[in-house]
Structure 1
Amino acid sequence: MPAPSHLALRQGIIDICREMNSSGLNQGTSGNVSHRIDGGMLITPTSLPYDQMQPEDIVEMSFDASYEGRRMPSSEWRFHRDILKNRTDANVVLHTHSVFSTTLAVHEKGIPCFHYMVAVAGGIDIRCAPYACFGTQELSDYALEALEGRTACLLGHHGLIVLAENFARAMWRAIEVEVLAKMYVHALAIGEPPRLTEAEMTRVMEQMRRMSYGQAPDIDGVDDTPRPRNVA
């Protein structure tokens, strides 16, 4: 039997799924991961434990919902397909039932701008989509709406979705959002925390953008970007 196409991406999906579980970000087979390919995506199969998964088990699926392989795609293939079809800024969609994000989601509560790191999801907050049954088009539609202008959202009574350019960035963002969710849950034990202003969150996002280009933060309008010394 010939080797499956996109072998490195298939192995990357398996590796990140196993990392999700070993890190405590996910449990059992409840999460799923996809990666963009030409005309479609690679996605985890349904109901297969990650430690048993092999590259040939990863399902190749077109945006028209046709698929190839020996397994059926994840039951959540619709929102993976719709996100990758509509969000050309993302290559990876990662979904987990991480504990603190899901704790907020079961209360239909998003993550407000109580901490500046909320900006890692691309905006001033992390929204929670309304509840819809898993695997449905309704859930996918709600997820797309909650992700507008964002790279993460919660799903009501369900879990977390993050988008990213690559596997490493997806794992980083999922952990960051889960930590934020944990901090917010703990902060709520004292009372609803105060919010940062929209203007301050906009400033934070600009700082993050600058630093992603290797520049120093702009402190009070002073350009203090580090510069290499002239070497003779």
Structure 2
Amino acid sequence: MTQDAIERAWDALVGTARRTVTDGLVVGTSGNVSARVGDLVLVTPSGVPYDRLTPADTVAVDLDGTQVRGRLAPTSELPMHLEIYRRTTARAVVHTHAVHATAASTLVTELPPIHYMAAALGGPVRVAPYALYGTPDLAAHMMRALDDRTGCLLRNHGTVTYGDTLDQAYDRTAQLEWMCRVWLTATSAPGHTPSLLSPAELHEAATKLSGYGQPH
């Protein structure tokens, strides 16, 4: 893997991490972002404001978690990121503490299918049981919630999504937070129960979404 490729990937990763702050998905240094480049995983460091990161701060580990680049310690959520890379085809992972998603995670074991964009994450979004951050238990709970999904909620914690690119992983996070906000807003109307989509309707949406966008 060339130094240029690593530098480009780091710049994109830092840009995505800063975007999570700008868009209100995290506060301070909460949340983290990673990208796989060959056999390396670039990841945001622990406890460092994203606006202070420079190319000299590049942090990289191998798939076993051994740090191979950088002087800063990697995020404490590294076990979660690595488990996704080991067990899926992910090239990027975004973890946030988004307000509405975190609130929703305390109320349900699965986000009710309030909108067809749930199909873009593989189906109804599950909530992984609570476990202490940075632990193998949390990573294991998360992976069960991610079975056949590209995003999930972490109880009393936040969101995790992954994708083929940083942009895709980020967009999935933003969509998940938006769906949680819609559901919380709908359920707050006194005397009303929001309508939900059926499995057949979600499947229909998934089929149509698979061809969405411009042809390549």
Counterpart residue number, 2:141: 142
* TM-score, length-scaled by structure 1: 0.86
Task: Determine the C-alpha separation between the residues in 1 that align with 2:75 and 2:182.
Answer: 31
Please give the secondary structure, in 1, of the residue aligned with 2:153.
strand
Cα deviation, residue 192, structure 1: 4.2
Task: Determine the C-alpha separation between the residues in 1 that align with 2:12 and 2:201.
Answer: 37
**After alignment, is 201-210 or 33-42 more displaced?**
33-42
Q: Which amino acid aligns with 1:128?
A: V
Counterpart residue number, 1:74: 75
Task: Determine the C-alpha separation between the residues in 2 that align with 1:142 and 1:108.
Answer: 15
Equivalent residues in 2 for 1:12-161 (5 A)?
12-68=12-68, 69-88=70-89, 90-123=90-123, 125-161=124-160
Q: Is the 8 A contact 2:9 2:37 kept in 1?
A: no
Q: Is the 8 A contact 1:162 1:174 kept in 2?
A: yes
Counterpart residue number, 1:198: 199
Q: Is the 8 A contact 2:92 2:164 kept in 1?
A: yes
Counterpart residue number, 1:178: 177
Unpaired runs of 5+ residues, structure 1, are 216-232
Please give the secondary structure, in 2, of the residue aligned with 1:210.
coil
Q: Which has the larger radius of gyration?
A: 1
Unpaired runs of 5+ residues, structure 2, are none
Cα deviation, residue 109, structure 1: 4.2
Q: Which amino acid aligns with 1:162?
A: T
Report percent identity of matched pairs: 32
Q: Is the 8 A contact 1:108 1:157 kept in 2?
A: no
**After alignment, is 105-114 or 137-146 more displaced?**
105-114
Cα deviation, residue 140, structure 1: 0.2
Q: Is the 8 A contact 1:29 1:50 kept in 2?
A: yes
Task: Determine the C-alpha separation between the residues in 2 that align with 1:91 and 1:104.
Answer: 27
Task: Determine the C-alpha separation between the residues in 1 that align with 2:176 and 2:94.
Answer: 12
Q: How many equivalent residue pairs? A: 211
1:150–1:213 distance in 2 versus 1, CA, 3 Å = farther
Q: Which amino acid aligns with 2:95?
A: H
Q: Which amino acid aligns with 1:175?
A: A
